[in-house]
Amino acid sequence: MPATIDMDFPETNSLLPLVSIGLPTFNGAKTITQAIKSVLKQSYRNIELVISDNASEDETEIICQRFCEVDDRVTYIRQRKNQGSILNFLTVVEKASGTFFMWLGDDDILDENYIYECLKVLINYPEYSLVGGVPNYFKDGQFLFRGVQISLPEDSGKDRVIHYYSQVVENGIIYSIMKRQQVLEIWEAITLSPPAGLDYVFVSAMVFLGKSIALDHVTVNRNWNWSNWGTEETIQRAMKIVGASRFQATNSELCVSIAAFSDIAWKSISYQQLSLVERFSLGWDVLITRVQFHQLNIQTNLLDTFRFIDQGHGSQETKEAIAALRQVRLELAKHWFSKSLEDVATSYSGDYAKVQQILPITGIKDEPLTGDEQYFLEDIATCVMNRGFNHSAFIGYFLILMLYYYPHQFPQEWYEGVSIPEWFMDEFLKFLLVNPAKFSDRYDAENYYNYAVDLVNYLHGKIATNQNSSTWQYIRKFVGENANFYLLNSSDRDLSLLQQQLQEICN
């Protein structure tokens, strides 16, 4: 994109696109006058200002009515009762009529050329979804800091989403100019079930649809009200302003991270062009990006994290997550079904390979199988037994069963009878050595003990009789570095032989 764009906007040209500025407010009498004046002084004149007053108890209504009397570009809407900030933000979008739209806080001030400069880019470069300026933050009239300038010029929507979440802090990008129809569609869909961090989820969906840029020669000056984040005062403000629960307000980064993941992976309509596997992969990348960026501590697996967040207010999110993970697993299983060894080798990369490795650690394996899943797996097992272990489609079947079962739930001859290709060796060995998160019953625990004993005995014998085999020596090294049957430590069974054989493998 060139540094400058030549484009004149005559003051009286009805053909120029209308830009709507939505200003949701509640008790903003102290600051709203400056915010309104900064809009009405814009050098780009074809604008409308839509104000939605969330039943203010101060002089906000009087101030806004005065502006309506002197400038017909101002529309003032007063809510009969406070409908919460999320619906108030939606109201100004719904009542707007412009082709383009932006939100403005009731304590924010726009540069005089803000709309002019941002609109030039949006009109000349339709591949952009958001164009804004630099957010500068003030408190009590004193400059505090320059906000993070988020520009996302990547051609890939998936790359833009990941890069957005890797750098967003105060999220000033939400005060960009956007295409109103896109804003309306996304915001309406999100508010049907508002997630934590709704503004992050919204921007993510917007940048998936198109590029964004923060112009460094125009600014929006914003008031910073979160200097003491984490105090009881700010927790109460978050609960009141955005409708957060106390748990969400005190664990905001974790809740936002999970909301971002689930919105991408299965909730939002914005990512429907992607398959379920691709959506899950993108959502997972975002979750890991935020966990690393904010140094978050999450539970032992994904579903346990959902349960942790759900505590105190039902289990709906966890139920949705389980249902969604089942669907992702089924789509991946269908992808592998009846594929030959050559086809699997070709397609075992990218999102499909990544999700194959991630799903088993989400906790979905520990959920009881549904009736449909049991029938499906019985068909797979029948195919394996009828076609034999060396059939070209066996690896595809095996990949499917790995998504649903732990290794001790397989017949042992399936491990001993199959020829594992080199490209799949590490994943196969990891699977053999994985520890189940829990046992479904005493019989399951007994199966695990027998499996561990038989597996170690088998590996011990094969390694001992294949000293000159590079493959078996690689397996020996892998087992020595990764084998840890710690669940057996609480068993009352004799583990001396197993421990001795493991020691000999390691040495």
What angle do helix axes 198-209 and 157-165 make, rounded to 10 degrees?
150
- Characterise 439 by phi-psi region: left (phi > 0), alpha (psi -120 to 50), beta (else): beta
Per-residue pLDDT, averaged over 460-478, amounts to 92
Give the pLDDT confidence score for residue 4 in this predicted structure.
Answer: 42
Per-residue pLDDT, averaged over 434-462, amounts to 89
Give the pLDDT confidence score for residue 250 in this predicted structure.
Answer: 72
Please indicate, yes or no, whether the overall pTM of this predicted structure exceeds 0.75. Answer: yes
DSSP state of 269: G
Tell which residue, 319, 316, 322, has the closest CA to residue 369: 322
CA–CA separation, 265 and 398 (whole Å): 25
> What percentage of the chain reaches a pLDDT higher than 90?
55
Report the range of poorest mean pLDDT among 37-41, 291-295, 399-403, 416-420: 416-420
Write the single-letter amino acid at 256.
V
Give the pLDDT confidence score for residue 486 in this predicted structure.
Answer: 84
Render pLDDT for 30-84 as a digit per residue (tens, 0 to 9).
999 999 999 999 999 999 999 999 999 999 999 999 999 999 999 999 999 998 8
Give start and end residues of each alpha helix (H) in 365-495.
Answer: 371-387, 394-404, 413-417, 425-433, 442-465, 470-482
DSSP state of 263: I
Write the single-letter amino acid at 58.
D
End-to-end CA distance of the chain: 61
**Does the pLDDT at position 18 exceed 90?**
yes
Provide the CB-side half-sphere exposure for 243 (13 A, CA).
16
Give the pLDDT confidence score for residue 421 in this predicted structure.
Answer: 84
Report DSSP letters for 148-172, one per residue: P---B--S-HHHHHHHHHTT-SS-G
Give the pLDDT confidence score for residue 2 in this predicted structure.
Answer: 43
Give the pLDDT confidence score for residue 415 in this predicted structure.
Answer: 67
Give the pLDDT confidence score for residue 6 in this predicted structure.
Answer: 47
Note the Cα 282 to chain centre separation in Å. Answer: 7
Give the pLDDT confidence score for residue 105 in this predicted structure.
Answer: 93
Sign for the CA dihedral angle at 89, 95, 101, 104 comes to negative
Give the three-class secondary structure for 420.
Answer: coil
> What percentage of the chain reaches a pLDDT higher than 70?
88
Q: What separation in angstroms does the CA of 217 have from each of 118, 131, 142, 168, 213?
A: 10, 12, 20, 20, 12
Give the angle subtended at the CA of 500 by the CAs of 498 and 505, to the nearest 5°: 95
CA–CA separation, 179 and 98 (whole Å): 9
Render pLDDT for 220-246 as a digit per residue (tens, 0 to 9).
998 876 554 445 555 555 555 555 566
Q: What is the mean pLDDT of the chain?
A: 87
CATH, domain 13-110, list 2.60.40.3500, 1.20.210.10, 3.40.430.10, 3.90.550.10: 3.90.550.10
Per-residue pLDDT, averaged over 408-426, amounts to 79
Give the pLDDT confidence score for residue 93 in this predicted structure.
Answer: 94
**Does the pLDDT at position 100 exceed 90?**
yes
CA–CA separation, 19 and 177 (whole Å): 8
Render pLDDT for 243-279 as a digit per residue (tens, 0 to 9).
556 666 677 788 889 989 999 999 988 899 999 999 9
Give the pLDDT confidence score for residue 139 in this predicted structure.
Answer: 83
Label residue 298 by pLDDT band (50, 70, 90).
Answer: confident
Q: What separation in angstroms does the CA of 287 have from each of 38, 67, 284, 310, 322?
A: 38, 45, 5, 17, 17
Label residue 299 by pLDDT band (50, 70, 90).
Answer: low
Give the pLDDT confidence score for residue 314 in this predicted structure.
Answer: 62
Label residue 312 by pLDDT band (50, 70, 90).
Answer: low
Domain-by-domain residue ranges, the chain?
13-110, 422-507
Are 247 and 311 in contact by the 8 Å Cβ rule? The answer is yes
